[in-house]
Structure 1
């Protein structure tokens, strides 16, 4: 199995599990199991990302975002492992993991756009699709955080 196939398969798994987690009830045993599946998929996505160089011929923008993604995954796990020491750990975990999934979607739409539209101006398409995805994600994360905070204050 090539790294590209592992990367794509893991990314698809992460898209499904990440989307499920965002849309489902938080804290259930299924949420936790899906979270572990998401973690496994994202670790595979990020590790394999560093072995794929066809698009830019070396370290490129997607590698930079794979580093950011790795930090998000570590941050999400940190909030779980040290939840007793962290004030508002649930909000921190929610926000970090939401950004992880938004980043995954931004990478997905950016990757698809440069593969289908034009390799002539890759940074234009990466910026456009990644920026739109991130903007929509920021709006939804703010709304989710607000709803989650107000639900916890009742």
Structure 2
């Protein structure tokens, strides 16, 4: 088709400056979240990249509330952003407080892993919603199933390795318990 043919229009990826910032933050979050999951846990690099992930997620979640093109108002993606904010917070609070002493790591890893999975669900949903002819429920079920089933299998496979504290972390936890006693 000719470029000037009115029947063919390439959909725009970004419609505003807020949308561009949202896209950049989402891309950074996807990359950083995936890297953090792949790296060994508890070291300086994990912490630095993990905080970068949380920062980029915060920007992405905040800018999601500036985008109203899809539903011309508050929509399901805004609800998902609120839920994702809860998941992200639920992953960070135990890590920041180091409580409960014996299980904070499990809570941190579980919710942070879920946070990254939710991000991938959102990516698949964003791609599918731009495809004509798919209903909301088709998009929601296909994006959730495509990401969550393999994600749950991977979580089950790697959970024990992720939750096993490094020797340095075991020493710090032991010191914290002794200091509290």
Q: TM-score, normalised by structure 1?
A: 0.89
Question: Does residue 142 of structure 2 align to residue 128 of structure 1?
Answer: yes
Cα distance in 2 between the residues matched to 1:119 and 1:64: 23
Select 2:38's aligned residue among 6, 23, 42. Answer: 23
Greater helix content: 1
Structure 2: tracts of 5 or more residues without a match = 1-15, 166-181
Name the structure 1 match of 2:109. Answer: 94
Structure 1: tracts of 5 or more residues without a match = none
Cα distance in 2 between the residues matched to 1:109 and 1:86: 36
Kindly state the Cα deviation for residue 84 of structure 1 after the two structures are TM-superposed.
4.5
Q: CA RMSD in A?
A: 1.7
Name the structure 1 match of 2:128. Answer: 113
Q: Is the 8 A contact 2:37 2:113 kept in 1?
A: yes
Cα distance in 2 between the residues matched to 1:125 and 1:146: 32
Select 1:14's aligned residue among 18, 29, 36. Answer: 29
Q: TM-score, normalised by structure 2?
A: 0.76
CA 1:119–1:44 in 2, change beyond 3 Å: closer, same or farther? farther
Secondary structure class of the residue paired with 1:22? helix
Q: Is the 8 A contact 1:111 1:126 kept in 2?
A: no
